[in-house]
Structure 1
Amino acid sequence: MDAYNSSLSAGLQVPARLPTTRPPESLCAPHFALSSRFTQDAALAAAASPVQRHRLLASRKHAIQAMSAVAERERISNEQHGYGKAAANGHQEFRTSWSGSDDVGAFLARKATFERIQSCGAIACLRSENEEVAVSAGRAALDGGISVLEVTMRTPGASQVIKRLVHEYPSATIGAGTVLTWQDAEIAKEAGATFLMSPVTDQELIQVHTSSTVLFIPGAMTPSEILQARRWGASCVKLYPVSLMGGIQYVKMLKLLFPSLPIIPANGISLDAVESYLQVGSTAVVTSDAIFNKTALVQHDYDQIADRAKRVATVAANSERVDSSTLKYTRNGQRFRAVI
């Protein structure tokens, strides 16, 4: 603890010790004595792609040092509580003890990713049976104007596809889809993914990522699944498969039940339907075949993919949007107002 406070205080004007017991106020309240400049810098460092991160070392040196100290403090705390030990099933148990402002920077990083997705309005979902085809198709979509790309983990060499595209398009928001296990999540994050999408509501994955810099978006289909995901700490959900549940009208009904919850519908959304989904309150839509047409992928027609991406991006940008939801700070399933 002393080593932590020494390293943190070296670059920041903070008290000698941070609070170690849970206060009654918001976990993002100013009493953490971390300046807004620090939290902003920490968020920038956390949200940066691997390619960009080294550029921040000089200009954001203290924030990055502090984040490293914060991560070390969390690791020590977990060890003291016996967390992170191998479970009987051979998997790691990952729990997060409350540690003051340790995850404020992580929340801001997730919020920044969420806002980029919300601003774009469309997520291009890429699936391919070949790594090189996937890379070329991803390039075409990004060159066409889509700024948010999801590479499904079912794609052969998905981690390499993500890594290469993150390197080539540092300003794009690139994530992974079909994340079903902790191993999938770790592989994708190591490759540089800034968001993860899953077709299922998995408690462990949701709770692990409530203190991660990477935005995790679980899949849910029914109101009960959505409510359970929220109780576990999900701040937004992927509505999947929306085409089997009533499409646009189903989203409209769910927004009446969960008006403040960001909802991202996925499955079977055509170019013609993008605007309608956004008009009923969707935060963004996941488009797959609307951009990555199967015939175009087979024929390596990347010009067609770029054209489709341009059309989707244009429709999303020009659609009348009614979604005003924002990412909420959660801790162990509880929500707090972020005052930073």
Structure 2
Amino acid sequence: MKSSAPAEPSGSGPERGVLERLGAARVVPVVVVDDAEQGLGVARALDDGGLPVAEVTFRTSGARAAIEAITDRHPGMLVGAGTVVDPRQVEEAVTAGAAFLVSPGLSVPVVRAAQDAGVPIVPGVATASDIMAALDLGITTVKLFPAGVVGGPAAIKALSAPFGQVRFVPTGGVSAANLPEYLGLPSVLAVGGSWMVDKKLVAAGDLAAITRRTAEAVAIAAGARPGG
């Protein structure tokens, strides 16, 4: 009988603990907010929906303030910084309290800065060459991005054959509809998605809808079994 547990993350110490928590959550909401107030509202809605984790992207000027506010007001929430594309942002995110970092691609300076700061980073990959470069840096948990464009579940299956030690966090094009297919793959640690925290819902302050979509995602994830 195949286990329903998510693939075991790599790393050790604090890094391993963070990756284990991402694997336990199975879904990582990719959050775009304009300020601390929006960040706090979304964090509360996610928590109410049963998903105390958020990847706050550095796409807005208010991202750092949002991370600081969430980590201060919701200490039990696992908060990371996404769309980290240069070492300066690594420093800003870590100073703000980010427990993990996510990049859209693989940058050696960004990975090294995160490693120097002692914070786990999940860099984006799209090809076998990207994965080999990540392995050279000691990274075995990667973000397949944009997952829907580069082949989706089929790409993960193909890449898992030569890279059995790698765990994937597919992001980009993931939705409630295809969530079970992604989470059914043993090499998928978790998925990243924004459908439960749609920017229109955030802008409208519709926290009830965010909570509802989050609860639905949690229920779908709970029923998705690797190999099932």
TM (norm. structure 1) is 0.60
For the pair shown, the structure with the greater C-alpha radius of gyration is: 1
Correspondence list, 1:61-72, <5 A: none
CA–CA distance in structure 1, aligned partners of residues 22 and 128 of structure 2: 23
> Per-residue displacement from partner, 1:83-105 (whole Å, max 9, x unpaired)?
xxxxxxxxxxxxxxxxxxxxxxx
Aligned runs of 1:26-45 on 2, under 5 Å?
none
Q: CA deviation at 1:285?
A: 0.1
Gaps in structure 1 of 5+ consecutive residues: 1-105, 323-340
Q: Which amino acid aligns with 1:195?
A: F
Give the secondary structure class of the aligned counterpart of 2:121: strand
Cα offset for 1:234? 1.5
Q: For 1:27-176, what aligned pairs fall within 5 Å after superposition? A: 107-176=12-81
Q: Secondary structure at the match of 1:205?
A: helix
- Conserved 8 A contact 1:125-1:151: yes
In the other structure, the counterpart of 1:313 is 218
**SS of 2:217's equivalent?**
helix
The alignment-based identity, stated in percent, is 29
Matched, 1:234 2:139: yes
Q: Is the 8 A contact 2:111 2:123 kept in 1?
A: yes
- Checking the alignment, whether the CA contact within 8 Å between 1:174 and 1:193 is kept in structure 2 is yes
Quote how far apart the aligned CAs of 1:272 are: 1.5
Superposed, 1:295-334 pairs within 5 Å as: 295-321=200-226
Change beyond 3 A, Cα 1:142–1:155: farther
CA distance in 1, matches of 2:110, 2:12: 16
Residues 140 and 165 in structure 2, CA contact (< 8 A), matched pair in contact too: no
Structure 2 residue 188 is the aligned partner of structure 1 residue 286:
no
Question: 1: distance between equivalents of 2:139 and 2:161?
Answer: 18
Corresponding position: 1:264 with 2:197: no
**Stretches of 4+ moved more than 4 A in 1?**
none
Q: Does 1:199 align with 2:104?
A: yes
Q: CA deviation at 1:293?
A: 2.0
- Contact persistence 1:237–1:263 (CA under 8 A): yes
Check the 8 A contact 2:90/2:114 in 1, yes or no: no
- 1:209 matched to 2:120? The reply is no
CA distance in structure 2 between the aligned counterparts of 1:316 and 1:260, rounded to whole angstroms: 23
> What is the DSSP-based 3-state SS (H/G/I as helix, E as strand, rest coil) of the residue aligned with 2:169?
strand
Task: Tell whether the 8 Å contact from 1:131 to 1:156 is kept in structure 2 after alignment.
Answer: no
Q: Report the equivalent of 1:101.
A: none
Where 1:265 maps in the other structure, the secondary structure is: coil
- The alignment covers a number of residue pairs equal to 216
> In the TM superposition, what is the alpha-carbon distance from 1:130 to its structure 2 partner?
4.5
Please tell me the residue identity of whatever aligns with 2:204: Q
Partner of 2:180: 275
| C-alpha distance in structure 2 between counterparts of 1:186 and 1:211, whole Å | 10
Deviation readout 1:287-338 (Å, 9 max, x if unpaired) = 11x211233223211100011111112222231035xxxxxxxxxxxxxxxx
Greater shift, 307-316 or 294-303, is seen at 294-303
After superposition, residues 5-20 of structure 1 pair within 5 angstroms as none
Q: Is the 8 A contact 1:206 1:233 kept in 2?
A: no
| Counterpart for residue 334 of structure 1 | none
Matched to 1:247, the amino acid is: G
Deviations 1:161-190 (A, max 9, x none): 111111222122110000011110111111
In the TM superposition, what is the alpha-carbon distance from 1:133 to its structure 2 partner? 2.4
